[in-house]
Amino acid sequence: MFAKSKSPFSWRIAAPSCVWPETALVNCRRLARTVPEVGLYLLELHACLAYGPEDLPQKPYGLVYHLHLPLDLPWSLGGETAFAVMERLLAMTAHLSPWAYVLHPPTDPARLKDFVAAYTAAGFDPAALLLENTDAVSPAETLALAKANGCGLCLDLGHMLAMGHKLPKDDPELATRARMLHIYSPFGPEGPPKGRSHLHRTLTCLSPEGRDELVWMFNNLSPQTVVLEIFAPMHLVEGLACVEAIASGATPPACGGAA
């Protein structure tokens, strides 16, 4: 990994806490040399609830943090229950002062409303809850949910490209609510994966259309954080260089490998 340098952009670049097949603690300690922010990816509810002091960073390491909340919340039991069963994760990470909480919203708006109500009642700011577009919920639908619940947005480029979704570019609230971007290529040169909606490939694999969408995001949105959502050390380094190239108007090299 190369040394961290001062960013020429208005946003912070971030990496996920699972770049190496090590604990989040080890990942954060290593990533502190390269990026100013880490997303703590608490993706599996029960496994993350079992974390001990050796699994999560116990000091900041000079990093800013945000959380990605579990993907397997029990939405079928209702939004209030979905919040209650993962609330301990917020207590376990409170010492790191995360500035945002990324959530894959349920498809049922009523359950999301109940989740946000419980989250707010617990003393959290709904504007810091960033709803992410997914395979099942398009950016336009996610924006509508964010407006209805006073939440922010985390726009995921890979989900959008993989599903053929479009950004609601004519809605002025897209720019005001988009506080985070997740960027990566959903496919390599071989095209979509069999049996899966997408992969997390290095940015050099972006199609011309995908690169155009990323350039539009950089030019028209003002996120606080851009997460390079790539889970392999060498491809993260490659992606960091690609971000600088794309943001400055240069064309990155062609796709050179898997991520």
What ranges do the domains of the chain cover? 12-247
pLDDT of residue 98: 98
State both tokens at 16.
Answer: 């996920």
Structure tokens at 35: 């990026």
How does residue 254 score in pLDDT terms, banded at 50, 70 and 90? low
pLDDT at 2 over 60: no
97-109 confidence digits (pLDDT tens): 999 999 999 999 9
CA dihedral 242→246→251→255, nearest 10 degrees, is: 40
The answer, yes or no, to whether residue 5 has pLDDT greater than 60, is no
> Encoding tokens for residue 105?
């919203």
What secondary structure does DSSP assign to 89-121, as a single string?
A: HHHHTGGG--S-EEE---S-HHHHHHHHHHHHH
Q: Assess contact for 144 and 113: CB atoms under 8 A.
A: no
- Residue 200 and residue 230 in contact, taking contact as beta carbons nearer than 8 Å: yes
* Lookup: tokens for 42: 């608490």
Neighbours of 120 (CB within 10 A): 15
Q: Which of 133-142, 153-162, 187-196 has the lowest mean pLDDT?
A: 187-196
For the cut 90, the answer to whether the pLDDT of residue 193 exceeds it is no
Strands 225-228 and 12-16: parallel
Mean pLDDT for 126-137 is 97
CA distance 182 to 248: 18
Instruction: From 131, 74, 122, select the one nearest 100 (Cα to Cα).
Output: 131
Class of domain 12-247: alpha beta
Question: In the predicted model, what is the mean pLDDT of the chain?
Answer: 92
pLDDT 10s digits, 223-253:
999 999 999 999 999 899 889 888 777 776 6
One-letter amino acid identity for 184?
A: Y
Instruction: State pLDDT tens for residues 158-191.
Output: 999 999 999 999 999 999 999 999 999 998 777 7
- Which residue type sits at 147? K
Angle of CA points 64, 69, 74, to nearest 5°? 170
- Give the whole-number percent of the chain exceeding pLDDT 70: 93
CA angle 27, 134, 102 (to 5 degrees): 45
Taking alpha carbons only, the member of 29, 54, 23, 24 closest to residue 39 is: 24
Q: What is the pTM of this model?
A: 0.94
- By the 10 Å C-beta count (0-12 exposed, 13-18 middle, 19+ buried), 20 is classed as middle
Per-residue pLDDT, 259: 43
Give 64's strand partners: 37
Count of beta carbons in the 10 Å neighbourhood of residue 224: 19
Whole-number pLDDT of residue 250: 73
Task: Please tell me the distance from the alpha carbon of residue 237 to that of residue 75, in angstroms, as a whole number.
Answer: 36
State both tokens at 118: 């419980």
**Under 8 Å between Cβ of 205 and 235:** no
